[in-house]
Amino acid sequence: MASSSDLTPPATPTPETPGSGSAAGPERRGRVRLRRAAVMAVPATAVAAGLAIMTAQGALGVQFAISGMPFTVTATELNGTGFAQFGGLDQMAEGSPNEGDTGGQVLVVTSVIKNATLTKLCQSVDLGGTNLVITAGGGAEKVTASDLTTDSTELTGNASFTNIEIGNDASTLDKAGPLGRGPKGVFSQQSDTVRIANLRQTNYATTAGVFKLPGLKLRFSDSGC
């Protein structure tokens, strides 16, 4: 619809107001271009810690409200087929006492593995004065998971990939199945297989279609994983 402002002759372009559009339009587009430029400048690494920058697009890594309490996950070895990774943004429940000055949001790197096995899995969460520790897969039978998704703020280990693709648009990923696709316009990577030795993650959420934990043991401890 036309308005009275549409009938006003366009102003002469100036350095402050280029073109005939309003100041808000070019400025907004400029901010978008700057964000995209920052995304393209992120170096691709095995851990992909810098992918959290992509959360400016509003990607949701999980579909539930997180507690906002980070937990540690370790394994002597992780092997997976169908791997994808992209940036995400997790949200705490409204009014969570853990939100601090974050507004209840946590920047994360979402990793998806279609089928995974983990050796000597350990998971711990600091409850303040004590740690809740879960261990499994320490014997002959390993921990197995399908459609495993983790939202992490830190991931370390010795990683190797086969047929890796780096720089994909997250909406086009196809190696980890439907759960391994992120929002359009988000930087991502994927590979046919992934192996990480001496895995250590700081996570805010984990989901899986099936999670089998042989030799499961849950206990309280003075120390975590």
Q: What is the pLDDT of residue 77?
A: 98
Q: Using CA atoms, how far apart are residues 124 and 71, in angstroms rounded to an integer?
A: 6
Q: What is the pLDDT of residue 26?
A: 52
31, 132, 124: which is closest to 75 by C-alpha? 124
Where are the alpha helices (H) located in the chain, listed in sequence order?
Answer: 24-40
Answer yes or no: is pLDDT of 63 > 70.
no
Give the model confidence (pLDDT) of 121-171 as tens digits: 999 999 999 999 999 999 999 999 999 999 999 999 999 999 999 999 999
Answer yes or no: is pLDDT of 45 > 50.
no
Give the model confidence (pLDDT) of 108-121 as tens digits: 999 999 999 999 99
* Mean pLDDT value across residues 62-77: 91
Tokens 């308005």 locate to 3
Give the model confidence (pLDDT) of 196-224 as tens digits: 999 999 999 999 999 999 999 999 999 99
158, 194, 161: which is closest to 76 by C-alpha? 158
Q: What is the pLDDT of residue 15?
A: 44
